[in-house]
Amino acid sequence: MRAYYFDNEPTDQRLPHDYDPSRPVDVETLGKIGVLYWKVPVEGYLPEIDAIAAKRNYKNRDTINVTKEGLGDQYEAKIKSFFEEHMHEDEEIRYILSGSGYFDVREHPKDQWVRIAVAPGDLLVLPAGIYHRFTLDTENKIQALRLFKDEPKWTPLNRSSETDGNTHRIDYRGYHI
């Protein structure tokens, strides 16, 4: 995992979008905005993932393949929807099994994008209420284990004045100021 401030240049979203020189963001700063991170080697990962899941009450899981082959006719629409700025009313938990991509999160209260480059072995937890988005990198493929506290669901709430008033967003802002 490597995190840094996103340069906001209007080019391909799959490019690194890093400043030159880079403006890195450390794990401690991510923690202040509620983003949690673990490095869990993919080989033999199951016992450690199971332990983290038990400790954090993640009861369900599934695997997603974000590739043209894995998503078929839905590929373009899914890639577009993943990159729309949104929040969830639940944590978003992803453990990267193969491939790579980027999670962009809004640093609160500055509202700047922080880009988090993820690769195999990275476990990322985004808190409920944080504005974020996801994109593949130029390799165009990622396989991730998704963990859930309850039944698997992925309901994005795109950023708007309505989501700004969502109780999960308000709770997030109140906690991460």
17 in a known ligand binding site: no
Query: In whole angstroms, how far apart are CA 93 and each of 52, 105, 126?
Result: 11, 14, 6
Tens-digit pLDDT profile for residues 6-33: 999 999 999 999 999 999 999 999 999 9
176 in a known ligand binding site: no
Question: Distance between CA atoms of 65 and 42, rounded to whole angstroms?
Answer: 16
List CB contacts of 98: < 8 A, sequence separation 6 or more: 42, 120, 141, 142, 143
How far is the first Cα of the chain from the last one, in angstroms, to the nearest whole number?
24
Least confident of 31-40, 125-134, 145-154: 145-154
Mean pLDDT of 94-118: 96
Least confident of 28-42, 103-117, 123-137, 146-160: 146-160
**pLDDT value at position 108?**
84
Question: Distance between CA atoms of 175 and 65, rounded to whole angstroms?
Answer: 33
Question: Against a cut of 0.75, is the pTM above it?
Answer: yes
168 in a known ligand binding site: no
Question: Per-residue pLDDT for 50 more than 80?
Answer: yes
Q: Which CATH number fits domain 2-8+15-169: 1.20.272.10, 3.40.50.2020, 1.10.3720.10, 2.60.120.10?
A: 2.60.120.10
Question: Distance between CA atoms of 45 and 61, rounded to whole angstroms?
Answer: 14
Question: Per-residue pLDDT for 173 more than 90?
Answer: no
